[in-house]
Amino acid sequence: MSDLQVSLLIIGAIVVGGVTAFNWFQQWRLRRRLEHAFGEKHEDVLLREDALREQPQPERLEPQIVPPARAETSEPGIPPAVPREIIPVQPESGLHMSAGLPPVPGFDPAIDYVVSVDAIEPISAAGLAELHTRAASCGRRFRVVGYNTALDTWEEAGRLSGGRYAHLRMALQLVNRGGPLDSTVLAAFCGAAQECAQHYAATANCPNVEASLAKAQDLDAFCADVDVAIGINVVASSGKFSGTRIRSLAEAAGFKLESSGLFFYRDEARRTLFTLDNHEPQPFLPEQMKHLSTAGMTLLLDVARVPDGHGALELMVDIGRELARELGGMLVDDNRVPLTDNSVRAIQQQLKAIHAKMEARGMPAGSERALRLFS
């Protein structure tokens, strides 16, 4: 074999070895990248098939639906798993210290959903602010009060009041003229109290949600049945009434024009008995009365909010007749039928029936409960 042939064999061996080494290096580097990206190297499950067959397999458990009321816990003292928004946090031993506290002024169990939060140590001002922030997500107006131990009384616990209280009470009105509470609102409200309780080693007591929703629906149906307004109209026989003349006569009769565009007639206690409004869309704005003219006005009595509805109705009719006479118009009902004594007596009978229903329900017209519900 010549020297040339030997040299070519050596060179060929070197090239083959280099290519083999390069391929091995590339595979090693790729394997390292994959292990870095997906974690440590795992055993090939296919290689364990025989071993797995030899091991006893656990018995399969079919899924079951367990009613919350019957659900059991694996550890004593832990409540069953039910939807969080309707879990009343139960007081633990030594934590429930609200017994003997006076009732909260202005909180009415008949129309309010009241949640209590009781802690061993006072909840910080920051915790109170967070409670307000979370409760505001319910989208309804609410109140929070705290118990002042030094004064032995409840006081308003506003978001930025800076107060520290071991006992808090939160109230959400079940119904107003916007309608009843729904489950979403109550869930957000209770959730705020429960979050606060969890952070401050406290207990939160949320009344039964389903019962409260049913109560709100029933109360709303009652309110819709008695939410009546009595209106009578002073209309022009011909032409229109001038704004200047209307304002002069209304103020002489005891009305006061306010920025809302309504004339208000109030009693000595500053309670509104009835209002005077433009029969046309344009309101009675103070700055526009000089240039306004209208074909009619409406006197309106909000039955549920007036304590002496019969007296207010008689006064409203008398003032309406006086305005009609002075302006040269007519006093009519909503169908433009002249208002007679018989018409007034029929209205009084309807008013009497509404008052009887409200009193039987424990919320007389013009009472604190009625003013809150019909707002």
More confident residue, 162 or 130: 130
Segment 125-153 mean pLDDT: 95
Task: Name the segment(s) of the chain with CATH classification 3.30.1400.10.
Answer: 226-373
Of the listed ranges 70-74, 308-312, 361-365, the one predicted with least confidence: 70-74
**pLDDT tens across 10-39, in order?**
887 787 777 676 666 655 554 554 444 444
User: Distances in Å between the alpha carbon of 330 and those of 10, 264, 298?
Assistant: 127, 21, 12
Q: Are strands 179-180 and 272-278 parallel, antiparallel or unpaired?
A: unpaired
Q: Give the tokens for residue 42.
A: 């795992």
Which H/E stretch holds residue 256?
strand 256-257
In the predicted model, is pLDDT for residue 72 greater than 90? no
- Secondary structure of residue 295 in the 3-state scheme: coil
Segment 124-134 mean pLDDT: 95
**pLDDT tens across 160-174, in order?**
888 899 999 999 999
In the predicted model, is pLDDT for residue 111 greater than 80? yes
For residue 295, the one-letter residue type is A
Q: Give the tokens for residue 235.
A: 């209309």
**DSSP one-letter string for 108-150:** -TTTEEEEEEEEEEEEPHHHHHHHHHHHGGG-S-EEEEEEETT
Provide the whole-model pTM: 0.69
- Over the chain, what is the mean pLDDT? 83
Segment 43-69 mean pLDDT: 37
C-alpha span between 35 and 41 (Å, rounded): 6
* Angle 158-136-260 from CA coordinates, rounded to 5°: 85
> Hey, what CATH class is 226-373 in?
alpha beta
Alpha helices in 136-207, H assignment, sequence order: 183-199
pLDDT, residue 24, reads 63
- Residue ranges of E strands in 303-343: 329-332
pLDDT, residue 131, reads 96
C-alpha span between 198 and 191 (Å, rounded): 10
Q: Are strands 175-176 and 179-180 parallel, antiparallel or unpaired?
A: antiparallel
> What CATH number does the domain located at 84-216 have?
3.30.1400
Crossing angle, helix 341-360 and helix 209-226, to 10 degrees?
Answer: 160
**CA 187 to chain centroid:** 9
Which residues have a Cβ under 8 Å from the Cβ of 216 and sit 6 or more positions away?
A: 113, 174, 175, 180, 181
**Token pair 């305005």 is at which residue?**
323
pLDDT, residue 357, reads 97
2 confidence band (pLDDT: 50, 70, 90): confident
